[in-house]
Amino acid sequence: MVSPRTLFTASRVQTWTYLLGVCPFSIAFLVFINSSISFVVTELIGLRNGEGDAVGTLGFADELLALVACPLWGVLSDRIGVRHVCTTGYAIVALALVLFVQAKNVYPQLLLGRLLFSLGGAAVSTMVTAVLPAVAGSHSSSQHKSTSDSRTSTSSSSRLAGFVGMCAGCGALVALVVFLPLPARFQQWGLSPAEAIQRSYYLVAAVSLVISILCFFGLRNLPGEEGKSWSVLWSARRRGTPDSGEACSYARKFQLPYLEQLGIAFALGFRNSDIFLGYLGGFVARASSVGISLFIPLAVNHYYRMSGLCGSQDGEAENPGDLKKSCHKAYVLASILTGVSQLVALLAAPAFGYLSERSRRRHVPLLAACFAGFVGYTTFALLPSPEFNGEYGSPGVFVVMGLVGISQIGAIVCSLSVLSSGILSLSEDEDENENNNENNPVDDEEEEHGEDRPLMTHRPGRKERHLSHLKGSIAGVYSLYGGAGILLLTKLGGLLFDVLSSGAPFYIMAGFNGALLLAGLVSGFI
């Protein structure tokens, strides 16, 4: 009798903890600190000149540390488990938020606080990717896995990736609707601006601590995470000791050094087409977030200043460091455009998850998202005006923003789906190899006398057989690619924006989407 099939392998508590805890708040806390850090610099520390440079330096330092920390957290999660990394990450975020508003100067106190936040944020953002295969993937102790089960696992990962994209978008909304208005509300209750900011950070830190506790209990006993604990760190390399249980037998699977583990995860991108597409998709997805949140407002501001629409005769704003105050019209238009793109992205996330499930072989949703991005970014760079009304404006800019939003969420959802499918395919290959070994056993004596063995007999090595257990390392490399995308677009796009044209960053994004489109075509049709 066939047992009823469930959507995800994980329990309901584990799935809801992942979707409503890990996914949205990994974004919410980042949006909160990025949006409020300027107020910390000006109101709490009292820096009135050079706040733009200070905020930019803090953000750049954050990304540099995250670039290194994400792969390390991923490798560590393969040893201690994604549950412990999530718990630790959110606890670090809570501590960083509290210490952040204790700073009396930008360097070194505020910088150290931002780096601590980056360390925790890198942990939780990496685990968004690492937990997905554990929640969606099939996990069975049986010796044989049917083809239908493997298809169900891949299907579940595609659906779950759509939910992840939607929940991540909701996390940004939580930050904008709940967290960011907190200082204003505290001020209405009679607190000074500095005190209001401190109380806001304390409250958000308390939320992070609650999420940490929820992850500790809600992610217990995830499928495929058996035996992973902090004790593995010092027991994994002990040899010659009797097997004392599941944790010990699990630890023996991991004799690879950390850097070698990371190197294998990186090399898988050149050996597995799904994992390669996932890595490249992560690169484009994270770069898209910068293109929308940074360069679209910058391009709008540039257009208004050069057109003399900010109330200044020479096109220069009185205070170019604060777009909201110096050119309110540009600020409003930038908010509308980015808001439209994010709304479209939020609504399209479940659709991309569903379509990814229906088209796993050809990656059609990913190709469609890349094509939308190529057209959207190129068109935006060629627009005579970013306005939706006026002499040179057109309502068609909303269509362009919709294409950009579709491109961003498509890259996020499809890259997670494809990457998870690649990890699950490693697990399926691993099970097939183990079944072949059981059906064709080779005893120790035959191993010692190689001349007695058939020439064509193949037994996969330890590294080959346990690649699926490197999902944390793979998630870390995925985040590494994403961080590289952010840094490349930020520095190169910003430089070309000043030197060549205000449309240069968008041509770069069009090129990124074109490269991913080409890679998807090659992977799906060859």
Residue 164 lies in a domain: yes
72-90 as b/e: b if 16+ CB within 10 A:
bbbbbbbbbbbbbbbbbbb
Q: What is the mean pLDDT of residues 504-518?
A: 94
- What is the rounded distance in angstroms from the CA atom of residue 140 to the CA atom of residue 145? 8
- What is the rounded distance in angstroms from the CA atom of residue 247 to the CA atom of residue 250? 5
- The model's confidence at residue 300, banded by pLDDT at 50, 70 and 90, is confident
384 and 505 fall within a common domain: yes
Q: What is the mean pLDDT of residues 53-73?
A: 87
Q: Is the pLDDT of residue 216 over 80?
A: yes
Give 428-474 pLDDT, tens digit per residue: 555 455 445 545 554 444 444 444 444 334 344 444 445 557 778 88
Residue 246 lies in a domain: no
Which domain range does residue 401 map to? 258-438+461-526
The least confident of 65-74, 209-218, 245-254 is: 245-254
pLDDT at residue number 99: 95
Query: Where does a domain end: 172, 188, 219?
Result: 219
Spatial contact of 60 and 466, defined as CB atoms under 8 Å apart? no
Q: Residues with Cβ < 8 Å from 361, sequence gap 6 or more?
A: 524
Residue 228 lies in a domain: no
301 and 414 fall within a common domain: yes
- What is the rounded distance in angstroms from the CA atom of residue 496 to the CA atom of residue 504? 6
Q: Is the pLDDT of residue 185 over 50?
A: yes
∠ Cα 299 378 510 (to 5°): 100
115 and 46 fall within a common domain: yes
Helices 51-80 + 471-488 axis angle, to 10: 160
- What is the rounded distance in angstroms from the CA atom of residue 207 to the CA atom of residue 213? 10
Residue 105: Cβ within 10 Å count: 11
Q: What is the mean pLDDT of residues 263-273?
A: 86
Sole residue written with tokens 């789906």:
417
pLDDT at residue number 293: 81
Residue 445 lies in a domain: no
Secondary structure of residue 89 in the 3-state scheme: helix
Residue 119 lies in a domain: yes
79 and 178 fall within a common domain: yes
Q: Is the pLDDT of residue 310 over 80?
A: no
- What is the rounded distance in angstroms from the CA atom of residue 394 to the CA atom of residue 384? 10
209 and 353 fall within a common domain: no
Q: What percent of the chain has pLDDT over 90?
A: 30
Sole residue written with tokens 């491109």:
407
Residue 72 lies in a domain: yes
pLDDT at residue number 4: 40
Query: Where does a domain end: 164, 199, 219?
Result: 219
Q: What percent of the chain has pLDDT over 70?
A: 76
Which helix H or strand E contains 404, and what residues bound it?
helix 396-439
- Number of structural domains found in the chain: 2
- DSSP per residue over 446-488, as a string? HHH-GGGS-TT-----HHHHTGGGGHHHHHHHHHHHHHHHHHH
Sole residue written with tokens 């990656």:
363
Query: Where does a domain end: 194, 219, 244?
Result: 219
- The model's confidence at residue 228, banded by pLDDT at 50, 70 and 90, is confident
Give 110-123 pLDDT, tens digit per residue: 999 999 999 999 99
Q: What is the mean pLDDT of residues 139-154?
A: 46
Q: What is the mean pLDDT of residues 408-430?
A: 79
Q: Is the pLDDT of residue 272 over 80?
A: yes
**Ranked by mean pLDDT, which of 155-169, 279-293, 413-427, 430-444 comes out on top?**
279-293
pLDDT at residue number 180: 86
pLDDT at residue number 37: 86
Phi first, then psi, for residue 145 (nearest 5°) are -120, 125
Q: H helices of 295-327, where?
A: 296-306, 323-326
pLDDT at residue number 323: 47
Q: Residues with Cβ < 8 Å from 500, sequence gap 6 or more?
A: none
pLDDT at residue number 313: 44
**Ranked by mean pLDDT, which of 219-223, 321-325, 381-385 comes out on top?**
381-385
pLDDT at residue number 8: 55
- The model's confidence at residue 46, banded by pLDDT at 50, 70 and 90, is confident
For residue 43, the domain's CATH number is 1.20.1250.20
87 and 201 fall within a common domain: yes
Sign, CA torsion 264/267/273/275:
positive
pLDDT at residue number 9: 62
311 and 213 fall within a common domain: no
pLDDT at residue number 461: 45
Q: How high does pLDDT run on average in the chain?
A: 79
pLDDT at residue number 448: 45
311 and 362 fall within a common domain: yes
Give the residue among 59, 260, 14, 305 at the shortest CA–CA distance from 160. Answer: 14
Comparison of pLDDT for 140 and 342, the residue scoring more? 342
Residue 451 lies in a domain: no
33 and 172 fall within a common domain: yes
* Structure-derived torsion over alpha carbons of residues 346, 16, 366, 133, reported in degrees to the nearest 10: 160
- The model's confidence at residue 324, banded by pLDDT at 50, 70 and 90, is low
Q: Which amino acid is at 73?
A: W
pLDDT at residue number 225: 74
Q: Is the pLDDT of residue 12 over 60?
A: yes
